[in-house]
Amino acid sequence: MDRRTLLKLSGLSLVGATAGCLEGEEEETTAATTTEESGGGGGEETTTTTEESGGGGSSYTIGMVDSLTGSLAPYGERNTRGRELALAAVNEVGIGSEGASLNISVEDDESTNQGGVNGAQKLVNQDGVPLLIGSVGSGVSIAIHDSVTNDAGVVQISQNSTSPELTTRPELLRMSPSGAAKGQALASLVSDDGHDTVAVTWINNDYGTGLSDVFAETFESETGGTVAYNEPHDQGQSSYSGILTEMASTDASAWIFLTYANEYTVMVNEGFDQGYNTSVDYYGAESTVADSIIENTPAGSMDGMKGITESAPQDQENYQNFVSAFEENYDATPTVWSAYAYDAVTVAALAIEAADEFTGEALSSVVRDVTRPEGEEVFNFEEAAAVLRDGGSPSDINYQGVSGPVDLDENGDPPGYYQIYSVEDHEYVFGDYITS
């Protein structure tokens, strides 16, 4: 990564491009040096990511549990570049007066709760990290919190988990907003399109349960609609024809898929074979947006589909600058999920900069403060570090993330920004913005 790009992310006001397009998952990550070791506690590999700082020789190591394999791998892959851009920007400045570097040790959760717990145990119990970023899946993040980080006093920041259930765990922080507002917006979208009877299938975990509950309650109580079918499906199945047959047996004019990329790909292909895509309208949420879905389904198989996905604010210059730097380095356009990963790393670095010591207790006492609106708005690590090093306290800064204002509340939740998407000519098209 060249110095010009680092400076754009470290210390300049922001200008740039538009949100909305998917990043190409096949592009190679080159932002920082990565070394791999076999035999990681949470999956197939352990990755320690390091970008040398310009100052002193000391360093801080934090952990990350990410989905490198399994159903959530398409989403875990997109986090890598956001993480590396943030790490490079932090290490260009360095942490503390000695300019210490930040290292991130990454474990694969294999897209399962147990894999996430295994990876987190390795990072916390063996490596001794006081702060852990992770994960993608809401159920995985909750399992890590309940089984590992909460009792150990380790700060946990999820970069991508959206289930409303996370709100019930105030010490489980997250960069992506709660799916509660998204479920409500999706119900309104379906109703506004003229549908009064729907069939819903949701992946049988915390993500699917939380989102489907909000959607169904809103659709029935606020729009007066009927949910004719509302059943879960298991992760990782080779066929979902039985689920689709049951949905087709109802008089629903809209089918709602609250699932992951791999599962939705199977459903789209089977629905296309049976001609369901021409008789009902498809709807989904953010997890039915992935390059891998487009690549592994036939043209026309889901044209006309609509949904609600998380997004950065349209006029957010900070995000526009992030997009510009991302495109310059990777020749691809990011999604907001890469921005969430970027913000997770930056907030972690700011907590380390602001804390009295590198312990879970000390980091926990400042991590919310550096994001709160009472402080001076800062748009990158360099600006925030300058305020802190000039005698400012954690509450004197208000980090404005590349994904939008972070503003972590008492439940560890940020505000939400969403966007309506559709599928046209077998491509995702992004439209109006919604603010929670």
Amino acid identity of residue 420, one-letter, is: I
Tell me: cis bond preceding 188? Omega within 30 of 0 counts.
Answer: no
pLDDT tens across 185-221, in order?
999 999 999 999 999 999 999 899 999 999 999 999 9
Token pair of 58, please?
Answer: 């000391």
Amino acid identity of residue 250, one-letter, is: T
Give residue 393's region: left, alpha or beta (phi > 0; psi -120 to 50).
beta
- Give the rounded percent of residues in the chain with a pLDDT score beyond 70: 86
Q: Is the full-model pTM beyond 0.85?
A: no
Are the CB atoms for 164 and 187 separated by under 8 Å?
no
pLDDT tens across 1-21, in order?
443 344 445 433 322 222 233
Ordered structural domains, the chain, with CATH: 59-176+315-416 (3.40.50.2300), 179-310 (3.40.50.2300)
Amino acid identity of residue 224, one-letter, is: G
Any idea what the Cα angle at residue 267 is, between residues 279 and 262, rounded to 5°? 150
Confidence band for 77, pLDDT divided at 50, 70 and 90: confident
Collapsing DSSP to helix, strand or coil, 405 comes out as strand
pLDDT tens across 291-338, in order?
999 999 999 999 999 999 998 876 788 888 899 999 999 998 888 889
Q: Report whether pLDDT(80) > 60.
A: yes
